[in-house]
Amino acid sequence: MTLHSANRHAPRRSAAPGLQHDRIYIDGTWTEPESAASIEVTDSTDERTLGRAPAASAADAERAASAARRAFDAWAGTAAAERALLLRSAAAHLAARRGELADLISRETGMPRPQSLAVQVDLPLSNLDEAARRATGGAAEERIGRSLIVREPVGAVGCITPWNFPLHQSVAKAAFALAAGCTVVLKPSEIAPLDAFVLTEAIAEAGFPPGVFNLVTGTGTEVGEALATSPDLDMISFTGSTAAGKRVAELAARTVKRVALELGGKSANIVLDDLDDARLELVITDAVRRAYGNSGQTCTALTRLLVPEHRLRQVEAIVTEAVAALVVGDPFDEGVDLGPLASAAQRDRVQEWIRIGSAEGARLVVGGLGAPTGRERGFYVRPTVFSDVRPDMAIAQEEIFGPVLSILTYRTEDEAVAIANGVRYGLSGAVSSLDPGRAERVARRLRTGQVDVNGAPFNPRAPLGGYKESGIGREYGRYGFEEFLEIKSIQR
């Protein structure tokens, strides 16, 4: 397959922060959607209009799915080295707009700008490079008796992505699908769709063939559901809430398509009882950071802090001091730790959870209702900590997706494990101990897809995914690549 210049009829784009898009990308062309309706995207920092994206229809989604279907056979037959070259070219085009992307995503999501640069932009660039490496590495064939076992691309894939890590999740899905030889239809969240246009422009400028990558913006009920039911798509990869993921799986079952789901979490951070005072202070201070990253708008956030009962008051004192040291403010101001939430709806949802926590009888240690002083405009929430939280309370069971930390106590290690496992989610977790072997033994008992031991950092090449109602399948690295492959037995 030859390389194509696919940047025909580029969408009109005004200078930031006003970004007005009126076209979607189907079959290598920026094309007008069926309807002139649009989605208003709000700047999380000041509640002004940031830009607009088309509110495409189900028919537009079907057009994109058909384009992906038509392009699949030729793309699947493209040499792996050529797929890798295109992915690296797209990465180079994105890297050239690195600062612009960080600015845009900070406005879309509220993440402080330095963090956006490192997490929201540089990690996707790293994933594009990793996907290119996986394309050329391929998937090993094996022999079982007289049978040859081969892996092939699953087909045309619909990628439905969230608003909290918009570019990151779009790349985590699309890059590995493309590397595997699949074609893609991307549907970004309607809350933060603008960065997806930058990604699409980079893919078009790289020269991906028509139909290999398509972008359709719109609502989940219109575009997302159309993709989930489309007979032209072989797989749906979805990241979002557990409720929405269940709906996607239900719709996808009508055509028995493969489903990958990365859903909610209510992850536990277990502090074991052998820490000395100095180590405890370090661990608890770090626990606040791990709960509040991206203002708590992270599915893997460690929002349940499990501590020995006899050290509760000591922990509360450390937490109070750590939260007081946080700077909440404009994501573009120097030294800011937490920005606003991504939308008014999310801010209001988190405020309601704070009301629920107090009504349930949890004790408010820090924060509470309302915005931080001086931050009445923008979707700001006060960093909040509840203590005396029982495992059966709603704030200890349900994902809040904001800067709300619950402190729970335990008396024995077995009780700590039982509390950690006593939710319907199983996405992430953490364990701290002076004995690394003990920490790892506890980590192995947790029913969750990922566990950090003694403050270990995130590894973008290790698989991420959930147990229980946190999802199906894995993303990133080799496992994320293999998610988009089918297995065939050739009998000889």
Q: Which residues are catalytic?
A: 262
Say if residues 182 and 489 touch (Cβ distance below 8 Å): no
**Residue 443 exposed, middle or buried by CB count within 10 Å (0-12, 13-18, 19+):** buried
CA distance 399 to 473: 20
Longest dimension (CA), the chain: 73
Residue 149's φ and ψ, nearest 5 degrees, are -105, 120
Say if residues 272 and 208 touch (Cβ distance below 8 Å): no
The DSSP secondary-structure symbol of 116 reads I
Expressed in angstroms, the distance from the first to the final Cα of the chain is 30
Give ∠ CA 450-451-454 in degrees, rounded to 5: 155
- Listing DSSP states for 169-182 in one string gives HHHHHHHHHHHHT-
CA distance 129 to 471: 26
Which helix (H) or strand (E) segment holds residue 430: the answer is strand 429-432
Counts for the chain of helices (H) and strands (E), in that order: 16, 23
Nearest residue to 408 via CA among 266, 242, 290: 266
